[in-house]
Amino acid sequence: MKAKVAISKASEGASGMTGMWRIKRPVMDEGKCNKCLMCWLYCPEAAIVRGKDGRIWITYEYCKGCGICSEVCPTKVIKMVKEV
């Protein structure tokens, strides 16, 4: 059906490839992660994904590099690394 007014629907990447905004990237030492999910909860872009198998990973297409995950991580396993 054709739109009658402009509406938005929730969808992945609705704001574009916001990963381009980043000047520092969060890098997670997965082996040391205790899966507390603080980063997943705090990420303002929902760029941290919780897999069915319990794995946690970062989608760099959308991560803006704000560094909040690195700040809130209680085990300090997320480091902010400068992009090339």
Q: Which residues bind another protein (CB under 8 A)?
A: 2-3, 5-6, 18, 20-23, 64-65, 83-84
| Backbone CA torsion sign across 15, 20, 24, 27 | positive
Taking the C-alpha atoms of residue 33 and residue 12, their distance in angstroms, rounded to an integer, is 25
- For 76, the token pair is 């300090």
Instruction: Provide, rounded to whole angstroms, the least separation between the CB of residue 36 and another protein.
Output: 27
When the beta carbons of 18 and 40 are compared against another protein, the nearer one is 18
When the beta carbons of 7 and 54 are compared against another protein, the nearer one is 7
Exposure of 25 in the CB half-sphere (CA atoms within 13 A): 14
When the beta carbons of 19 and 38 are compared against another protein, the nearer one is 19
